Chains A and B, each alone.
Chain A
Amino acid sequence: MIKKGRGVANVYYPTGFNGGGDPDLVSLRIKADGTIDMTNASCEMGQGFKTVAIQMAAEALGVSEELFTIDNSNTDTTAFSMDTAGSRSTYIVGLAAISAANNLIEKMKEFVAGVKGCSPEELDYKEGRVFKKDDENVAMTLQEIGTASTYGGVFIMGAGGFLPPVGPPRDPETGFTVPSRSYAWGSTIIDVEVDTETGVVTVENIYNCYDIGTVINPLQAEGQVDGGNVQGISMALFEDLAPYFPESIEAYAADFTDYIIPTFMDIPKHSEIKFYENYDPYGPFGAKGCGEMVTNTQSPAIANAVYDAIGVYIDSLPITPEKVLRALDEKNKTN
């Protein structure tokens, strides 16, 4: 018999390394034609780091993201990044990019002041243009600054960094500390079908509402959520390297035939995503970390939905057909 059930989960997740203290640096170098090279050594592993980093630098300078290239490729010439982990990159690289952009603006003002024979304090910057506050016609564009500085023998590179404040040492008696200043929040409702003959659990509908602060790039963020859903479902229902652990660890899965990850056929029939953009006072443009939290709600929501469907909790992941059938047997015995 097919039984239907619905489950909910509600979580929060810290942004950045536990306890802070994980800095990143960004450099922004203006080229002869006014285009900009950005560097930061965070890793692009699919999450959209390069795209989102450029968007935040572009926003800070008020120019199009089309002007940018980004180099994240090496430890000789690319600005330092602590790591790409802990849902930190958008947040920390974004804040470092804002700092680097401000530094670039200051350096451009100094350069333009020299060219126009005024003081940097008399100048303002807006959307790719340095101009005199009292006479906007006295101005240089990024392109003009790039050409004049490069061929004028002046190296203009903005550099900046961000260090999340280091939390106090954990109190050994109470555990009090500060893991992070910023947290993302998320809630998920999942509908499942449980086949009581086979024990197979199928995810029908999945509804996610996530607060990752300001969404820097909805296309990439939706992608993260889609992938989070599938990894979360996979953690809930499939993945186990050693199914007979802790009795045995010998029956390891050694390939994708034995270690099951979801295919196109395992995605929910219906998936809805909404972002509740609760502006983070510390984050870049109000953003919080996104990457990890979006894979956290699915396994408890599914376990809770299975209970709703068949009246037993499976407290041990993954929720395999074998566990479902054994739990149903147990329940029928006691009834």
Chain B
Amino acid sequence: MFKSVGKRVKKYDGVGLVTGRMTYVSDLTMPNMLICKTLRSPYHRAKLNKVDVSEALKVPGVYAVITKDDVPHNYFSMVPDHHVLAEDLIRYKGQNIAAVAAVSKEAALEAISKIKLDIEELPYVIDPVEACKPDAPKVRPEGNLHLFDGVSEVRKIRKGDVEKGFAEADYIVEGTYTTPCQEHAPLETCASLAYLDEAGKLVIHSKSQGLYFSQGDLANVFQLPLNKLKFVGGTIGGGFGGMNSIHTDHIAGLLALKTGRPVKFQLTREEEMLYSTIRSPWIFKFKDGIKKDGTITARKIEVLHDCGAYTELGLYAVEKNANMIAGAVKVENLAIDSKMVYTNKMPSGSMRGFGVNVGQFADQVQIDKLARAVGMSPIEVRLKNAFKENDENHVGNKLVAVSAIETLKMVAEMAGEEISPEYANLSSK
């Protein structure tokens, strides 16, 4: 049927990969290149009164030291509330405060050590449950809970009547699930090389997963039109969602503009681990009703997403999570309440499975508990409740090319699991 589609074509750039000829951003150098290092907050939450860079500027080999006052527009990210360099309220440990461009790593680090901070440590909150309480330290001046649609602390999904569903159930099963802070850990750490080209255009060799995505975001920070800002890249040493967030491009670009020289900024592995965006923690509470015959009658789900210090991609994760968390099963009576809270930790980035796989961990363990409650096999309880062709999912979206039943049956066969005749003949059609 197809000629090229379906073929086991080898990687287009495979020779570059196996020989090491491929140059990633971290491999790039330029004549006259300066090295960037940043000063990061030692506290989770603090009041930053003053940054004195005068001694740092005296270090031999230092070309520039920048702080928030050097940023044309000090807000970036998908929801642009993140500061490129810290303003007066520091929101997480490791937040960038100042940046140095110098002829060597050694000179840059020496200059960093000479920057004087007038800074007061403040009480902080890292536990998302604590952060929801009214007397918790305020991560953001406007409060710790996100207001959905500008008005509501709760993002709702409602279908049917969950109380009616619980009344119809023979068993009620409840569960609470948590997921941790996870790091993307690509083998190449985040890197940028920024310079001004022959026409004065700012060129940034970036590790971004979305060159245009980052360009649009940072055009705002630099206050440059799109013909004065060029992103270069497109082949990177691992992303997994982490490179949807900007970690080095903004600062390298600012320093290139300031010095007129190429500036390279690459995170150390430690910086990448400790201070880049993460898959941030979630808490899920499930209450499900199920009949003896295995029919799920109701699901009530409460979601709390710990977004970290800035929105970054946390809000998007909550939206995506909410649409998917009730699982690949029909549920007539459904109530989902999602909340997002800010805490004093590194911001929530996107990570492969983004917002969804954390919820599916909870959903799928919970479904297993339902199977055990009614004494059915875990595969058969899934088959019984599975979405079929043209079913509506939990947010009113008609489903096509549905394969919940087919993939379950096929994987059961692969693993040598018997399915009873009642379920073996089911199909999505």
Contacts and interface: CB of A to CB of B under 8 A. Distances in A.
Interface string A225-255: 0001001100100011111011111001111
Nearest to A84: B209
Contact of A280 (B233, B396, B401): B401
Nearest to B320: A18
A84 to B, nearest CB: 5
Contact of A276 (B158, B178, B382, B403): B403
A216 B6 contact: yes
B105 interface: no
Interface stretch (A106-114, A139-147, A148-156, A299-307): A299-307
Interface stretch (A115-123, A194-202, A203-211): A203-211
A73 B234 contact: yes
Given A83-B210, A85-B209, A301-B364, A185 B407 contact: yes
Given A75-B211, A75-B231, A245-B126, A259 B185 contact: yes
> Which 5 pairs between the two chains have the least Cβ-Cβ distance?
A175-B157, A300-B364, A83-B210, A246-B127, A211-B403
Range class of the B interface residue count? 35 or more
B47 interface: no
B156 A175 contact: yes
A74 B230 contact: yes
B176 interface: yes
B234 A316 contact: no
Contact of A11 (B126, B209, B234, B328): B328
A45 interface: yes
Nearest to A243: B180
Given A188-B411, A249-B345, A7 B180 contact: no
Interface stretch (B110-118, B132-140, B347-355): B347-355
A35 interface: no
B323 A254 contact: no
B408 A10 contact: yes
A223 to B, nearest CB: 9
Interface string B390-426: 0001111101111110111011101101000000000
Contacts of B324: 12-14, 179
> Which of the listed residues A19, A187, A217, A218 has the most CB atoms from chain B within 10 Å of its own CB?
A187
Nearest to B236: A45
Given A65-B4, A82-B212, A240-B182, A172 B412 contact: no
A89 B399 CA distance: 21
A288 B401 contact: yes
A129 interface: no
Given A74-B231, A209-B411, A295 B353 contact: yes
Interface stretch (A26-34, A48-56, A327-335): A48-56
B414 A304 contact: no
A325 interface: no
Given A219-B10, A292-B354, A84 B210 contact: yes
A321 interface: no
